[in-house]
């Protein structure tokens, strides 16, 4: 039996066939500092409710996959140390050991699919790291998108990654990259990456329709929706680039490796921008929560 536990709110929504939006927990434990991490998680959940859907934050607590976290659990997770960062490779081990872990995009997609949830909103996804031709550092998020049928709403990939290579891998893996409402691929803190998006859609209904069409065609895998950060909240590319280069140089000098790279870069960008990267990060996650709720509603309506 799959060790899955639904919160009362999510269980009710499932029974009533209401739209549900999954949320990840690595953004809470490894992506943002306390207490903004828990405050943001709560705001994101409320944003989804206000938009007419039900939030389902996903994490592994004591060897059980929780679909929907109550306030006390969320609070504890946001301050916990020794939380495993779970991708596809780690999920079963964490469960077998009865441990606690935060789900990345890849692991959240797996758990959402097990729970019958088709839409998932987050901030940024993992991708191909710069220098991947030597380090082989390519996030398992990309391969997950190729095999698990969940539509993931993000704000594009961060420019700490190699964006052209990330797009190439997604294309090879058959993952549609759909930018919402503009031609340029967004780059997380910035509305534009300078790269043209492979695909574009202008409404949640269209995104829901292509999600359904993949199932009709028998195509495995999900969709990646890139939702540009609102104009008022963005850090333009020319302003963030020097800070990104500085943080990356520290990684190149051997500061950290493997799974620690992304959390390290996020923390350094927070310091180098005097917290502005975090403010932008919060704004874009809320923006993605709104679009995720709209897509989930469109899928339920159809």
141 binds Mn ion (CB under 5 A): no
Instruction: Find residue 54's DSSP bridge partners.
Output: 20
Using CB atoms, what's the residue nearest to Mn ion?
137
Partner interacting with residue 53 (select from ligand PSU, Mn ion, none; CB below 5-8 Å by kind): none
Residues in contact with Mn ion, counted by CB under 5 A, come to a total of: 1
User: What count of other Cβ atoms lies within 10 Å of the Cβ of residue 133?
Assistant: 9
As measured in angstroms, the least distance from the Cβ of 132 to Mn ion is 9
Ranges assigned E (strand) in 68-203 = 84-86, 101-103, 119-121, 151-154, 177-180, 199-201
Q: Which two tokens stand for residue 21?
A: 């939006």
Partner interacting with residue 123 (select from Mn ion, ligand PSU, none; CB below 5-8 Å by kind): ligand PSU
Give the relative orientation of helices 276-301 and 36-50 as an angle to the nearest 10 degrees: 30
As measured in angstroms, the least distance from the Cβ of 127 to Mn ion is 9
Our CB check for ligand PSU shows the closer of 160 and 298 to be 160
How far is 67 from 8, CA to CA, in rounded Å? 10
State the residues that interact with ligand PSU by CB under 6 A. 24, 26-27, 30-31, 87, 104-105, 123-126, 139-141, 158, 259, 262, 266
**Contacting residues for 299 by C-beta, under 8 A, at least 6 apart:** 19, 118, 119, 208, 211, 212
Our CB check for ligand PSU shows the closer of 262 and 288 to be 262
Segment interacting with Mn ion, rule: CB under 5 A, options 29-37, 55-63, 132-140, 146-154? 132-140
Our CB check for ligand PSU shows the closer of 208 and 280 to be 280
As measured in angstroms, the least distance from the Cβ of 50 to ligand PSU is 23
Q: Which long-range contacts (CB under 8 A, 24 or more apart) does 89-97 make?
A: 89/140, 91/60, 94/60, 94/63, 95/3, 95/60, 95/63, 95/64, 95/65, 96/63, 97/63
As measured in angstroms, the least distance from the Cβ of 288 to ligand PSU is 11
Residue 212 CA: distances (Å) to CA of 66, 215, 255? 26, 5, 44
Segment interacting with Mn ion, rule: CB under 5 A, options 47-55, 131-139, 195-203, 279-287? 131-139
Chain residues that interact with Mn ion, rule: CB under 5 A: 137
């Amino acid at each position: 039996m799959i060790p899955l536990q639904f919160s009362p709110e999510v269980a009710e929504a499932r029974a009533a066939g209401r739209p549900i939006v999954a949320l990840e927990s690595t953004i809470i434990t490894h992506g943002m500092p306390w207490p903004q991490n828990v405050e943001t998680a709560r705001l994101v959940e409320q944003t989804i409710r206000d938009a007419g859907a039900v939030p389902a934050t996903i994490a592994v607590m004591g060897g059980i996959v929780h679909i929907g976290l109550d306030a006390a659990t969320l609070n504890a997770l946001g301050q916990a140390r020794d939380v495993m960062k779970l991708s596809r490779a780690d999920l079963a081990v964490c469960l077998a050991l009865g441990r606690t872990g935060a789900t990345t995009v890849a692991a959240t997609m797996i758990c959402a699919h097990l729970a019958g949830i088709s839409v998932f909103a987050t901030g940024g996804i993992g991708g191909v790291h710069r220098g991947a031709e030597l380090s082989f550092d390519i996030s398992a998020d990309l391969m997950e998108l190729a095999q698990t049928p969940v539509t993931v709403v993000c704000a594009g990939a961060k420019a700490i990654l190699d964006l052209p290579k990330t797009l190439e891998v997604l294309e090879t893996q058959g993952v549609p990259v759909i930018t919402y409402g503009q031609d340029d691929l967004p780059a997380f803190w910035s509305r534009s990456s300078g790269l043209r998006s492979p695909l574009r859609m202008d409404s949640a209904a269209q995104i829901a329709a292509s999600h359904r069409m993949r199932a009709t065609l028998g195509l495995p895998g999900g969709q990646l929706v890139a939702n540009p950060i609102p104009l008022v909240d963005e850090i333009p590319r020319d302003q963030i680039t020097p800070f990104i280069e500085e943080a990356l140089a520290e990684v190149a000098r051997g500061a950290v490796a493997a799974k620690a790279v992304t959390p390290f870069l996020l923390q350094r960008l927070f310091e180098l921008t005097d917290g502005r990267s975090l403010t932008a990060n919060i704004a874009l996650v809320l923006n993605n929560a709104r679009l995720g709720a709209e897509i989930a509603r469109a899928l339920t309506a159809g």
